[in-house]
Structures are given as structure tokens and as C-alpha cells.
Structure 1
Amino acid sequence: MQRNYWPTTEWQAIDSATLRMDSEKLSELELMIKSEYSNINGIVVVRNGYITYERYYNGYGQDDTHHVASVTKSIISALIGIAIDAKYIKNVDQKVLDFFPEYVPNAADRQKREITIRHLLTMTAPYPFEDWHEPLDKMCMQSDWVKYILDMLGQKGSIGTFKYSTSGAHLLSTIITRSTGKSAREFANERLFRPIGMKEIPDHEMKSFGFEDLFGKNVKRWVKDPNGNSTGGWGLTLNPRDMARFGFLYLNRGIWDGNQIIPRTWIDESTTTNPNNYGYLWWLREEDGVFAYLALGDGGNVICCIPEKDLIVAIASEFIINPLDRWKLIKECIIPAVME
């Protein structure tokens, strides 16, 4: 796909009509956000590479960062693809325990030895907790999160069954550090954020590891564990325009202004539909003939990519319990605004 410009230094905004977007339909967004999605702090809609709609609420502006929660996982996925391409990691079928030679599993625990990077990326590694009931609070009370996760990994269940795990994504972040010698934050700054014009994430000294430091109002930059590993499953702060940049990179199959930042094959593998509707730390959705892949975070943080419509929707939200599904907003107000 040929692009007239790349938003490396600045996004360009064009009126909706020029981008073949129905302005009346888009105007419905404002009403719906204010009435039903009041915890949305920022939304950016990009069509054909240009911003066609951008609004901020609750006192936020375009440079304000938000804790994007599990959107962090999709960033980690991109970094794994970059690390494999750079030959820091062999491939997705490399065994997880290869990266932790100091960890010696129980001799009878054969399943643990068979778990691969692919299993962590696709959420098909076994864990002892029930699906969607991961005891993250328990992990966060440990002095060594990685040992705690490795102890838990492979216990109960079987390899290949979908079970959503944030701690598995944290292992992937640690694997990035073990293989590259850099934290996920440092590696991202160098190989992902800087090349596409996203703001680099400075280090944040973690002085305590309470709830507010890890998940709440004290979350800054990119959270890390007590041993300095960037959190893999949450903890990254981004502004909506940079969320859109990341989505735009994926929409262009890893190419940015002539440079292949993420391998094209990685983008394709990461977003290929499967029975679990989950790629490599991306949610996959097909509805009414429209295919989308989404980075989703608690509270309603979203980067939604719709390739066939050359459309990206980035939404930054304040965390609340049980927010309305953003897909409803996208499906009812944004996709119908695209004029073929």
C-alpha cells in the first residue's frame, strides 16, 4: 500500500468527507461517548493514514498518557517478533525453559519442559488457576515473580487449551531481556517506539510494589517487577496518538516509511484467525464480513485495526469495573461511517 506521508513526527488530520467518512455518522460518536462511555478519556480514528476524528474528555489532552493495561501484551508480541527476526530468539517453538537455565523443574514435571514461546503467545500454556481467575495479586507479593510463574507454569490442565494468562506475558517480557540483554522497555524504545515516532518511555524507579504502584494511580511510564523486568501483561502508559501509530504499523504489515520494523510474516501469523479467536497476544474478530484485530486492555483501552477499511481506532480509558464493550461503539458508529 502506497502512503503519501508517514506520521513519524506528526499526524496529519483531514476532514472526514475527503477521507470518505460520513461526518453525520461520526457526530453520533460524541453523543454516545458522553452518554454511555463516560470513562473514555481520548479517542483517535485514523482512515487512510490520516486522523479523521479525535476527541479528548475529562480534562485530558493529546499528550497525556494512560495506563493501557493489557494493550501492553500486544506490544510484547511485536517485540518477540522483532527479537526472532534479529536472531536473539530462535523461533516461536523454542522452549521457555531454554531461557531460564538456573531453574530446575521437578523430574516428574515433563509438561513444563515442553512449553514453548508459541504457547505463551497464544494463551495455550497450562496453569493451575481457572480461566479468567488468575491470582495476579499473589504474584505481585512475591520477591521473584519469574520463579513464581515458572513454578505455576505447566501445573494442571494441558498444553493447547486456551487459558488467558497475564503472568505468561510477563515471562515473554523476561525472555526478551534474557535474550537481548535489554529490558522490554529499552528494547521497545530502540527497535519499535523510536523508529515510528512514538514517545520513548523513560525508566521509572519502582520504590514500592503496592496496588497503586502496579495498577492504580501511581502507574507511570512502564512498570517493572522487583528484579527490573518490564511487566509483560500490563503496566505500559501511552497516549492515544501513539496507540494509533502502533496500530498503523500493524495495518501496514510492519513497514514504516520504507523500513520493515516488524517482519511481515510476524504480523500475518499474529493476526490469523483460529478457533480461539486469539492470535499472538491480539484478539481477533470477524462480524458482518468485517475482520478486525484488537489490542484490548482493562477498562476499555483499545487499539482496533480493520485492514480492509484502512481504519484504526485507538481509545484510552480510565479504569472502571465492567465498562461497555468498545466493539459496540466501533461497530455502530465508526465502521458504518466508512463510505465505500
Structure 2
Amino acid sequence: MFRNCGNVLQFKTAISALGVTALFGAVILPAQAQDNAYPHANETIGTVEQVYDGALLPDLAVSTYRNIDRLFPTRTIKAGAKALELPKAEKQLSNVKFKYEDKDYDLYDFIALDSITAMLVIKDGKVAFETYQRGNTEKTRWMSMSVAKSVSSTLAGIAIKEGLIKGLDAQVVDYVPELKGSAYDGVSVKDVLMMSSGVKWNETYTDPNSDRRALLRAQISQKPRSAVELMAKLPRAAEPGSVNTYSTGETQILGEIVRGAVKKPLAEYLSEKIWAPFGMETDASWWLDSPDGVEIGGSGISATLRDYGRFGLFFMNNGVVDGKSILPEGWVKEATTPKTLKDGKKLDYGYMWWTAWTEPSIKDGAFSAIGIQGQNIYIDPVEKVVIVTFGAQPKPVGKEPIDPNVFFDAVVAELKKS
């Protein structure tokens, strides 16, 4: 995890910053600091660099992905006093059969081949299928990876609704003054939401020299403001709004915008606006750039399967809490439909939500929050279906044997049968 530490003192300092002990390529938390009520608290876990290198054997990957709150300092996303009920549907999903690339598959193939460690299917607000594998349980908190981007986007929408962010055309530097004079000067909130700031970025997870890994090293340093300092040094590669470049750094900037606008931590804002009032059942957590610092906007949320499902329901139902939407009018459609660059080029991407790419999903206007290594919140707003998966795929390179959207289409089709 700390390959760049030049000597033993640096190594110990870096380890101390995270409050962990390194042992033979794995990380274990001191016993007195562990949450012993958590069923996976005593498991040995890997390092964050192993996660991004794709260098974890299956069992170690699973234990790591359900303990990511031990890799970095976190802030709690507090749940409320009463959980939103998720009753069992009368019609349960038993099996799903489908074709993919001219081969026959079913539900069991998908779960096994795509390394799915938990899956939840909600139809009309009721649970039609739920499974936990590889020792996971209802109490397991699993990593979000880039699913967190869609959460950060949603928080930006709430801040716009509240007038704290002055609309999509508001300027980044108005909320993050540190970026004045950088490549983000002249970039709008909408540009960031579309990942079209024009700032140069390489997202290759497995490349130690990529910008994504530089952002990870900044996080590992646990130096306050190191992430935004890194982003401020990046060069401009194109005019804002003219080129789409997938960038976790862009979501870090979005998180800084929201933080600057609402004057409180993202985890606190998420708890106040969604997690507690909508009825999430369990406290979640969110990685920080430093102790008591800023949340990592593009990853690092750790939550239970059912609470990710509840977030899907919240968003699918237009962000209604206590009978009133907390999102701007039309936000869900705006955030989840293909956007257009300044030159008229269409993007198969919304505001940090992925638009559909299979015919049935496109027809229903489905969309997804997607994270590397098999994390999904898939939403079909026409059929009122939310599907959540936890994945433990070995490498962050999109090598799923089965396209999840093809499987999700098959699930929706099966649920439509009388």
C-alpha cells in the first residue's frame, strides 16, 4: 500500500495516519479499534493499492470490499430512527433465463460468473429477490466504488434545489476558491456533472502513472487538501463542455463544490437530506481525504445492500421525502438521459449516471449507478424495478463475462410475466 515510502520512518508515519498495521501485504486493524458488532470486523483485508492493481485473491477481495472503512478514515452517514419497510413481494424471482452472445445463461450463471456476492431485486417497492453469498449478510456494508459518483451528483441536485448552488451554470471557482487560476477556472457545475470540464485526465486504474492513481496516492498521504491541490495542478486539454472524459477527479471537484455550497460535510448532508428522513436502516460511512477532512466524492461509500436499494427507490421516485421532492423539478430525467456536448455530439452519459445501452433498457429509459468490480444500482422507471449488486470481480477493468444490463433486462422481462 505504501510502496512510495522511501524509508522506515516514512512507512511508519503513513501507516500511523491510517491507524492500521501492515502485515505480509495485508492490513489488519488493531483489535481495540474494531467495531466488534460488525460481523466482518476481525477479517484480514488487503490494501487499497491491491484493489486498484487487481491483485487480490478471491477470499481476500471479499473481506476487503466489505471492510473498506478500515482502509481510510471515514465519516459516518447516520441513519434515522425508523427504516423504510421493504416487504416481500408475492411473486418471487426464481430463475431467469436469457441469451448473451448467442449462448444460454441463467441467474445462477450470472451470479457465479460475474462474481456477485449479494443481489437485491425490488419491484414496486417490494423485494422480489435477495441473496447473500461468500459470507455476506444483511448487516454487510459493501464498497460502492463509483456508485458514489451518482450519490454526489444527487447531493448537487439537492443543493441546487435549495439555492445553495446557483444552478447548473454556476462556476466551480465560486464554491472552490482554491481552483481560481487553474484549469477549472471558467468551468461550470454542469460541465463537471457531465465530466466535460476539458481538464486533462487519465482514469486507468491499473496504471501506476495515471491521474487516477495519483489521486489515490494523494488520498493515501492523508494530507489535508491534497486531493484538491492535485486537481488544481492539472492542465486543460479542451474547451469546457466540448469533450467528455470519465474522471474520478471530476467527482472530487463536485464534492468540493457541494461542500463549499452547503458548508457542511457531504456525509452529514447526505444523512440530513436522504439517509435519515427517507428511512435507511443502517449507518453507512464515507472515505475522507484526511482525518476529519473532505469526503472522496467519487468512491468510498460503504453501505448495506438494502440501503443501496432504498437509495435507488428514492431516486426512481423523484427524490420524494415526506411527500415532497427535494430535487429540482425534472432532475431525475435530466440527470439520467444522454447529454449533448457543445459541438452537438451526444453522450451516453448523464450527470454522473450511466444511461442504458441495451434495447429493452433504452426503451424504458433505464439508468444505472455503476462501480468497478461489479457494483450496480440499476433502475427501470417504467417497470418500477431497482436491482442492486455487490461484486467481487478480480480486476477493475470491466471484464464481466456477462453484461449486467443484459441480465437486468431479463430480470425485468421475467417480472412482467403474469
- Relative to the length of structure 2, the TM-score reads 0.68
- The more displaced of 178-187 and 138-147 is 138-147
**What are the superposed Cα offsets for residues 256-279 of structure 1, whole Å, 9 maximum, x if unpaired?**
451323334221211223321111
1:277 matched to 2:344? The reply is: no
Q: Are the equivalent residues in 2 in contact too, given 1:132–1:164 (CA < 8 A)?
A: no
CA apart distance, 1:23: 4.2
1:177 matched to 2:252? The reply is: no
Partner letter of residue 296 of structure 1? I
Gaps of 5+ in 2: 1-81, 99-104, 340-345
Tell me which residue corresponds to 2:196.
124
Quote the Cα distance in structure 2 between the aligned partners of 1:201 and 1:24: 32
**Structure 2 matches for 1:10-29, cutoff 5 A?**
10-16=85-91, 23-25=94-96
Tell me which residue corresponds to 1:79.
155
Tell me which residue corresponds to 2:77.
none
Matching residue within 71, 91, 101 for 2:177: 101
CA apart distance, 1:100: 2.6
Quote the Cα distance in structure 2 between the aligned partners of 1:102 and 1:293: 34
CA apart distance, 1:323: 3.0
Gaps of 5+ in 1: 1-6, 203-220
Q: 1:231 to 1:201 in 2, by over 3 A?
A: farther
CA apart distance, 1:156: 1.4
Quote the Cα distance in structure 2 between the aligned partners of 1:290 and 1:31: 25
Tell me which residue corresponds to 1:315.
389
Higher RCO structure (Cα 8 Å, ≥6 apart): 1
Q: Are the equivalent residues in 1 in contact too, given 2:373–2:392 (CA < 8 A)?
A: yes
Matching residue within 135, 138, 155 for 1:62: 138
Q: Are the equivalent residues in 1 in contact too, given 2:121–2:388 (CA < 8 A)?
A: yes
Partner letter of residue 182 of structure 1? K
Matching residue within 376, 384, 405 for 1:327: 405
Quote the Cα distance in structure 2 between the aligned partners of 1:26 and 1:262: 37
1:191 matched to 2:262? The reply is: no
Q: Percentage identity across aligned positions?
A: 24
Q: What is the alpha-carbon root mean square deviation over aligned residues?
A: 2.4
**Structure 2 matches for 1:213-224, cutoff 5 A?**
221-224=285-288
Q: 1:58 to 1:29 in 2, by over 3 A?
A: farther
**What are the superposed Cα offsets for residues 88-125 of structure 1, whole Å, 9 maximum, x if unpaired?**
1111111111123344416xxxx642211111111111
Q: Are the equivalent residues in 2 in contact too, given 1:73–1:232 (CA < 8 A)?
A: yes
Quote the Cα distance in structure 1 between the aligned partners of 2:154 and 2:111: 33
**What are the superposed Cα offsets for residues 167-200 of structure 1, whole Å, 9 maximum, x if unpaired?**
1101111111111111111110111111111246
Tell me which residue corresponds to 1:139.
215
CA apart distance, 1:16: 1.3
- The more displaced of 278-287 and 123-132 is 123-132
CA apart distance, 1:158: 2.9
Partner letter of residue 375 of structure 2? N
Larger radius of gyration: 2
Tell me which residue corresponds to 2:18.
none
- Relative to the length of structure 1, the TM-score reads 0.82
